[in-house]
Amino acid sequence: MTDQTDRSAFAAQAQALLKQMTLEEKLAQIVGFWDKGDGEAVAPLQGEFAEANTFAGATKNGLGHVTRVYGTRPIDPVERAAWLWNEQRRVVRETRLGIPMLVHEECLTGLSAWKAATFPTPLSWGASFDPDLVEEMAGLIGKSMRQLGIHQGLSPVLDVVRDPRWGRTEECISEDPYQVATTATAYVKGLQAEGVHATLKHFVGYSASQSGRNFGPVHAGPREIADVLLPPFEMAVIEGGV
């Protein structure tokens, strides 16, 4: 009952905040800025919006997400954490509504940052047949991320391998949907237990592209989607609580 009450209170606060927001402030909350460490954005379209081409300009009305604060290039994590802390305080202090930014990073084989621990690839997770070990690993990854002020990890990959020619097979766990589901759900639980939100990747069916070509068309009927491609995402939502 307490959790339900808390969720209702948070929802009411969010709705009240939304009513106060201008169109510009709402748009800012769906923007992710990829800063490469020198104040300028990484593509795409980085030169199209002159004012938003710098981090200060992009955060004028607030900002939804900051991309790859630690992982864009080798950078001292302690110095970068101090920079991030100061920027979070600046955004809260200088914007009208004081909404802090969400920070996300890649963490498929550990936090993708200089000096961070590297773990085996998802293919190895599947080969281990040990979801408990994967959950423990994800917990260690999540702990290091949370200490650095990161809120969201861009993992795990729940794509079921359908064609070994596909160039992203090394990011996947297995060709068996149940194995993918149980292992990836364990990763979700471990990461989120440390306060870092997991991201289910990629879209359902992404790995079943024609001729194993990335971004190729997918010819999958309702039965294949329901029996093979969807179950990992379903389990990660229902049991993993992503």
Q: Is the dihedral of CA 79, 81, 86, 91 positive or negative?
A: positive
Domain 106-242 has CATH 3.20.20.300: yes
Q: pLDDT at residue 206 above 50? A: yes
* pLDDT score recorded for residue 50: 44
Amino acid identity of 135? Answer: E
For 107-136, what is the mean pLDDT? 96
Average pLDDT, the chain: 91
Name the residue with tokens 């040990």.
Answer: 130
* Extended beta strands in 72-129, E state: 102-105
* DSSP conformation class of 69: T
By C-alpha distance, which of 210, 208, 235, 213 is closest to 224? Answer: 208
Domain spans in the chain, listed from the N-terminal domain onward? 1-105, 106-242
Give the pLDDT confidence of 71-92 residue by residue, as tens digits: 888 899 999 999 999 999 999 9
Give the pLDDT confidence of 163-200 residue by residue, as tens digits: 999 989 999 999 999 999 999 999 999 999 999 999 99
What are 31's two structure tokens? 């923007």
Q: For residue 101, what pLDDT band results from cuts at 50, 70 and 90?
A: very high
From CA 91, how far away is CA 63, in angstroms rounded? Answer: 8
* Long-range own/partner contacts, residues 200-205 (CB < 8 A, 24 or more apart): 200/156, 200/158, 200/233, 200/236, 200/237, 200/242, 201/154, 201/155, 201/156, 201/157, 201/158, 201/159, 202/157, 202/159, 204/229, 204/230, 204/233, 205/229
For 44-52, what is the mean pLDDT? 51
From CA 173, how far away is CA 37, in angstroms rounded? Answer: 33
